[in-house]
Amino acid sequence: MLETPVIVGIGSICIGFVFFLAAASGARSRWDRKVTITLFAIAIVFMTIIPVIGAIGFAA
């Protein structure tokens, strides 16, 4: 059985990957630059910061 922080981390990485794919698609389709950069920033947050916070909370 997986603990809650592990599930949150895996889910967060999956959501971040979706945002990353959307940003990559936007970059190829020449969307507005601000939208593309925002999507990349959101992807980075979901793929790095949220799982690390979950891991720290799990270790505490």
The model's pLDDT over 39-56, given as tens digits with 9 standing for 90+, comes to 999 999 999 998 888 778
Which tokens is 54 given?
Answer: 């979950």
Question: In 3D, which of 37, 40, 48 has the Cα closest to residue 21?
Answer: 40
Residue 25 phi/psi, 5° resolution? -65, -40
pLDDT at 2 exceeding the cut of 80: no
Q: How far is CA 23 from the centre of its chain?
A: 12
The model's pLDDT over 19-40, given as tens digits with 9 standing for 90+, comes to 999 999 999 999 999 999 999 9
In single-letter form, the type of residue at position 19 comes to F
